[in-house]
Amino acid sequence: MSVVDLFAGVGGLSSGFVATGHALLFASDFDRAASATFTHNHPGVPFYLESIENLDPHFVMEELGLRKGELDVLVGGVPCQAFSMAGIRIRKESQGQLDERVYLFRHFLRFARALNPKVIVIENVPGILSMLNGAVIDEIKSSLETLGYEVSWKLVNAADHGAPQLRTRAIILANRLSKHNTFPTPEFSKDTYKTIREAFRNLPELNHEPRPLSGLTLERVKLLKQGENWTHLPEQLRTKSVHSGAYGRLRFDAPARTLTTRFDTPSVGYVTHPIEHRALTVREGARIQGFSDNFEFLGTRMQQYKQVGNAVSPYMSLAIAKSVNTMIDWES
């Protein structure tokens, strides 16, 4: 099966297709550090470091020797910050200015029109389904239906598919195989979710560099037990943060909350180690997401955290790939 990955980042969304033996023909992203990590871990896959606005799908087809309709799967994790609750708050503080990233999905649709793949997979935060009172998802649906696709979507939790992380994402599937879209069936439940204890066993040294905290941050963290957050601190040590999970300490016997791009900073949420007085390492975040231990993240440490936090969980990607395999097998 042939796959093209747009807004690829380090390759989380296409990783499930690669793991099931399919050919990743091409990937693209505008982030230089993420592209370095991608090419380091996917040698031989053509990667274009370019903004999608400047990328011509017909040029890509010519480079790959692809004719319209030959591609099996087009995947893309359109930048999600514009659709997130944090993004909405930021725009309100900016006097309602609309984030231009909201419209990047139209460039993904431009590639869908040109390539005409059999199946399309779009991953995003749940907020994409309600953004602009539903106008974004309505445009995606109507645009793809005009091209002959059946379109549907579902909220998928990575923990249901083996990730030690409660990470819910909107998965939009479209196919032109005259079949109903098939979504992954949960393999785990609340009672069987994988835990942080399991995720942190036998951690390798690669990208695993614990950094102790200091100052007021350390003073706060020392007072918190597993599962507690800033609301459990003495009044004089509480923060002004309105984030409900700020300074949250993870529990060994439960999955993590959704990782963000700043999971090196205790104030962003539940990213403090269960028993050690520090935030998570890059490798611990990678384990929570589901990257293999030999997957190396490049760039500055801040860039590495961003790459892990932005990525699609490989656990979720694998579940999606298995469902898409079934859909395309139906055709044959």
Active-site residues, by number, are 80
Per the document, the length of the chain is 332
Residue linked to tokens 């298995």: 322
Closest of 36, 18, 14 to residue 306, by C-alpha = 36
- Residue 159 φ then ψ, to 5°: -65, -30
- Residue 272 φ then ψ, to 5°: -90, 135
Residue 21 burial class via C-beta count within 10 angstroms: exposed 0-12, middle 13-18, buried 19 and up: exposed
Rounded CA gap, 143 and 151, in Å? 10
Strand ranges across the sheet with 150-157: 47-49, 23-29, 2-6, 73-76, 119-124, 168-175, 150-157
Rounded CA gap, 317 and 307, in Å? 16
C-alpha Rg value of the chain to the nearest Å: 20
Q: Which residues contact 38 (CB under 8 A, 6 or more apart)?
A: 8, 9, 10, 11, 27, 29, 45, 47
How far CA 198 is from CA of 1, 142, 163, 255, 267, in Å, comes to 33, 43, 10, 9, 25
3 state SS of 58: helix
Contact 175, 150 (CB under 8 A): yes
Residue linked to tokens 């692809």: 66
Torsion sign, CA atoms 219, 284, 125, 88: positive
Residue type for position 287:
R
